[in-house]
């Protein structure tokens, strides 16, 4: 029986100390193999059944976030799904967002021009929900600094005032203990903590489809897609599939294998592994005299005034991010304590 460590070693072979999952996750060997097989098969005119890969990926993602597959749409971009939700709101509706949240979450609401977008500090989102707030849109985990939103408080405040909730879980799904069923809408890209290729994103909607109009519906949104290729779609899918984007098929051929791997590993084990490494890094930073931005319970650690060192660290084979002058390190299943210690040793020089 394979252990967590042995399974990870078999699937990931980084040539460097890669601590940048918050930007892009590493691809498992099985994912690369599946994509190569799909591309080579297509090149000789015998494509694999990649539409089945989309459906399996949808089901696997649904299981990971605790909802029925019928509530999950498969697409390419969180920004598109934010735009879909923004388009559903009536003119003048109030949308509450967090300061400096990721643009794919907030910009579609601003671009409408006729919505009342109110922005507050992340820590004040729950207390700022008020009568008349139509939607609370926030990242479950902040991209810039790893802060985890107080999701139970936000959910309770939204329910108390009749507001819907929309979460971007791109920096959360794959390690955070996250239940998408507790919120109205939830979107996430797959290329970060889910270790999928780029070109994969999911949207979770309520069982009643949440009052959304499928404004970009194409043939794949039909109840019978292959009978919906010409003219207006006569019957939209009865499930969240009506919100599907035309899929990036080669990406989904790989995504299926990445999601299968996470299912095999178990998110509880991944979370414990990731958080232990993040805490090790925080402790080491304090010993060096640095003060990371408080983000308890997060796999992302951001350190003010160290972002300028990103270039030299990369040259030394240690990959992190520079976000507005802050060094951002992200710890995931393929990282080890040795990776943490190597970064700390480099920062001590």
User: pLDDT grade, residue 37 (50/70/90)?
Assistant: very high
Q: Which domains does the chain have, with CATH numbers?
A: 4-28+266-348 (3.90.1150.10), 41-264 (3.40.640.10)
Residue 228's pLDDT is what?
Answer: 96
Alpha-carbon 332 to chain mean position: 14
Looking at every residue in the chain, the average pLDDT score rounds to 97
Q: Nearest 10 degrees: CA dihedral of 225, 226, 231, 234?
A: -50
pLDDT in tens, 100-140: 999 999 999 999 999 999 999 999 999 999 999 999 999 99
> Mean pLDDT over residues 7-35, rounded?
97
pLDDT in tens, 148-196: 999 999 999 999 999 999 999 999 999 999 999 999 999 999 999 999 9
> Mean pLDDT over residues 32-55, rounded?
98
Residue 2's pLDDT is what?
Answer: 75
pLDDT in tens, 284-330: 999 999 999 999 999 999 999 999 999 999 999 999 999 989 999 99
Residue 1's pLDDT is what?
Answer: 55
Residue 49 pLDDT > 60: yes
Is 269 in contact with 43 (CB distance < 8 Å)?
A: no
Residue 53's pLDDT is what?
Answer: 98
Is 207 in contact with 36 (CB distance < 8 Å)?
A: no
Q: Write the burial class of residue 30 (CB in 10 Å: 0-12 exposed, 13-18 middle, 19+ buried).
A: middle
Residue 106's pLDDT is what?
Answer: 98
pLDDT in tens, 200-244: 999 999 999 999 999 999 999 999 999 999 999 999 999 999 999
Q: Distances from the Cα of 89 to the Cαs of 80, 101, 115, 204, 213, in angstroms?
A: 15, 20, 8, 17, 10
Say whether pTM exceeds 0.75: yes
Residue 324's pLDDT is what?
Answer: 86
In degrees and rounded to multiples of 5, residue 300 shows phi and psi of -110, 135
Residue 271 pLDDT > 70: yes
Residues 6+ apart with CB under 8 A from 19: 318, 319, 320, 329, 330, 331, 335, 339, 343
């Amino acid at each position: 029986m394979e252990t967590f460590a042995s399974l990870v070693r078999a699937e990931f072979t980084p040539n460097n100390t890669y601590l940048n999952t918050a930007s892009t996750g590493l691809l498992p060997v099985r994912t690369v193999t599946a994509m190569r097989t799909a591309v080579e098969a297509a090149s000789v005119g015998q494509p694999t059944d990649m539409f089945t890969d989309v459906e399996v990926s949808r089901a696997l993602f649904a299981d990971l976030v605790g909802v029925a597959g019928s509530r999950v749409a498969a697409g390419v971009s969180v920004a598109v799904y934010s735009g879909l939700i923004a388009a559903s709101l009536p003119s003048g509706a109030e949308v509450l967002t967090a300061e400096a949240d990721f643009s794919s979450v907030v910009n579609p609401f601003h671009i409408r021009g006729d919505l009342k977008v109110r922005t507050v500090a992340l820590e004040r989102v729950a207390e700022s929900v008020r009568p008349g707030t139509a939607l609370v849109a926030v990242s479950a985990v902040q991209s810039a600094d790893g802060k985890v939103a107080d999701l139970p408080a936000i959910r309770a405040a939204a329910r108390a005032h009749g507001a819907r909730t929309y979460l971007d879980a791109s920096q959360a799904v794959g390690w955070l203990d996250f239940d998408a069923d507790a919120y109205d809408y939830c979107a996430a890209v797959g290329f970060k903590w889910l270790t999928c290729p780029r070109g994969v994103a999911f949207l979770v909607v309520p069982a009643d489809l949440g009052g959304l109009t499928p404004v970009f519906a194409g043939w794949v949104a039909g109840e019978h897609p292959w009978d919906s290729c010409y003219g207006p779609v006569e019957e939209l899918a009865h499930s969240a599939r009506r919100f599907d984007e035309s899929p990036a098929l080669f990406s989904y051929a790989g995504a299926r294998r990445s999601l299968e791997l996470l299912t095999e590993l178990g998110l509880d084990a991944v979370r414990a592994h990731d958080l232990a490494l993040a805490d090790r890094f925080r402790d080491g930073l304090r010993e060096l005299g640095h003060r990371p931005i408080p983000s308890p319970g997060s796999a992302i650690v951001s350190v003010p005034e160290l972002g300028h060192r990103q270039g030299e660290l990369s040259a030394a084979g240690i990959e992190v991010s520079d976000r507005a002058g802050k060094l951002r390190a992200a710890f995931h299943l393929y990282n080890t304590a040795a990776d943490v210690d190597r970064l700390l040793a480099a920062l001590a020089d």
